[in-house]
Amino acid sequence: MYIWQSRPVQIVVGVAVVKRGRVLAAYRPDPDGGWEFPGGKVEPGETEEQAAVREIREELDLEIKVGESLGPAVDISERYRLHVYRASIVAGDPVLREHAELRWFAPAELDEADWLIPDRPFVRRLRELL
């Protein structure tokens, strides 16, 4: 008898860092690349908010304060689900470490960028809030 076991879904957090009405985005250069909210996987024992703080510290050398969620999580694939939070900078200036480029977008510029598909619903919500 075969028992089907699904793998647990891994939550991935993205962070929309907002400063003076502009949003920080990171460019992922791989073949399916594009602009995204920086972030990463939630590790065992972490909350999504704790993961967001840790990931932004590791990726951008920023200390942030995590704010509200930008809406329900969206599926990236069968195994990954993306949840994006708005955040503000507490300390530091962004340092490019893991992406090809960083850019501050004004609200009117958000639609001009080639966003990764899972990030797009959060871009729309963020534009409404700015």
Q: What ranges do the domains of the chain cover?
A: 10-129
Torsion angle of C-alpha atoms 84, 86, 91, 94, degrees rounded to 10: 60
Q: Quick one: how far is CA 71 from the chain centroid? A: 12
Question: What pLDDT is recorded for position 29?
Answer: 84
What pTM was estimated for this model as a whole? 0.88
The predicted pLDDT at position 32 comes to: 82
d(Cα 120, Cα 34) in Å, to the nearest integer? 11
DSSP state of 118: G
Per-residue pLDDT tens listing for the chain (130 residues): 555 555 667 889 999 999 999 999 999 888 888 999 999 999 999 999 999 999 999 999 999 999 999 999 999 988 999 999 999 999 999 999 989 999 999 998 998 889 999 999 999 999 888 8
**87 in helix, strand or coil?**
strand
Q: Under CATH, to which class is 10-129 assigned?
A: alpha beta
Can you spell out the DSSP letters for 18-70?
A: EETTEEEEEEE-STT-EEE--EEEPPTT--HHHHHHHHHHHHH--EEEEEEE-
